[in-house]
Amino acid sequence: MTIEKNISLLEYNTFHIEATASQFASFETEEELVGLLNNTSIDKNNVHILGGGSNILCTKNIEGTILKNNIKHITILEETSTHIKVSFGAGELWHDCVCWAVENNYGGIENLSLIPGTIGAAPIQNIGAYGVELKDVFISCEVLEVESGKKKTIEHKECDFGYRTSIFKTTHKNKYVITSVTLQLTKIHTYNTSYGCIDNELQGNNLSLSLKNIADTVIRIRQSKLPDPKQIGNAGSFFKNPVIENSVFENIKLQFPNVPHFATQGQIKIPAAWLIEQSGWKGYKENNFGVHTVQPLVLVNYSNCSGLDIYQLSEKIIATVLAKFQIELEREVNIW
């Protein structure tokens, strides 16, 4: 394994932000990762693990070492008449794993089609879409502790999964490198199509209920709404959808009777996209960056803007939403 110096990260983040990393190395196996963590030129307190770079915003050059995860394998651990347990190498692309599952008629992750990035990053924010979250199929993950280089298995109950969060984003941030993820997928399926317009789309196109039809429908909806990072730099939803107390919601409803909302575990979730649009930001463009014209939750780099441009725009959006609704938006994207 070579440790390269002063590497451009332009091709390694879906925002297409130019920044350099002082040191950069890729690993294809756990042994290579252990070798890197034992290398004295790497400061373990300044290591950044990189997957597909689809949930990061580089606001400065990275002084430490970036370790790019390329561990790939799909290993069936257990199979019964009803389910299958599969271990995926953390460097596998998430969407490739969804396609593999759908092709083999294993259910549970079809609603999560077309989410960019690697499977190793999926537990970090408990990826979710269309009413399904990683936690619904997650069994455990194998990790290497950065400090000790020791291998560990982290079980579901230890991950403290929540709405776009887990211990890997909070208490144990940067402590572990996830090397593989084990999921339990179904052979007898329960379809989840009540969310958003999946049902309507299936019926409108005369499609029967199947893993493939759900996956294709999700892909079609996503392609119609979201900017393709290959064409316009972005990292998906920049902010989380705020979950607020009922009393706060009732106050907002007095002023905005049509506020969209969803009940969630005794609280209320309001789409951040609506708050941002109501605050006048939808389609906002400043020089070569801005707020997406269709989905205002997505901040975009039209060409060569800096990470600070995007960060400062996000500050302004947070301030105006706070002033108008007394709700403080929280960033979902990891700021580097």
Q: Which residues bind ligand FAD (CB under 6 A)?
A: 14, 48-56, 69, 90, 115-118, 120-122, 124-125, 127-129, 176-178, 226, 229, 234-236, 334
331 is catalytic: no
Residue pair 43/113 in contact by the 8 Å Cβ criterion: no
Q: How far is the CB of 17 from ligand FAD (least distance, A)?
A: 12
Q: How far is the CB of 178 from ligand FAD (least distance, A)?
A: 4
Closest by CA to 91, choosing from 126, 66, 122, is: 122
Pairing of strands 334-335, 56-57: parallel
164 is catalytic: yes
Which of 133, 142, 164, 314 is an active site residue?
164
Closest by CA to 102, choosing from 207, 211, 184, 193, is: 211
DSSP 319: H
Alpha-carbon dihedral sign for residues 296, 300, 302, 308: positive
DSSP 51: S
> Reading across the β-sheet that carries 83-89, which strands appear in turn?
74-79, 83-89, 176-186, 138-145, 151-155
Q: Could you tell which of ligand NAP, ligand FAD, none binds residue 225, using a CB distance below 5 to 8 A set by kind?
A: ligand NAP
Which of 180, 237, 279, 314 is an active site residue?
237
Site of interaction with ligand NAP (CB under 6 A): 128-130, 195-196, 225-226, 236-237, 241, 262, 269, 271, 295, 332
Between residues 152 and 225, which has the closer beta carbon with respect to ligand NAP?
225
Q: How far is the CB of 229 from ligand FAD (least distance, A)?
A: 5
Q: How far is the CB of 125 from ligand FAD (least distance, A)?
A: 5
Tell me the catalytic residues: 164, 237, 332
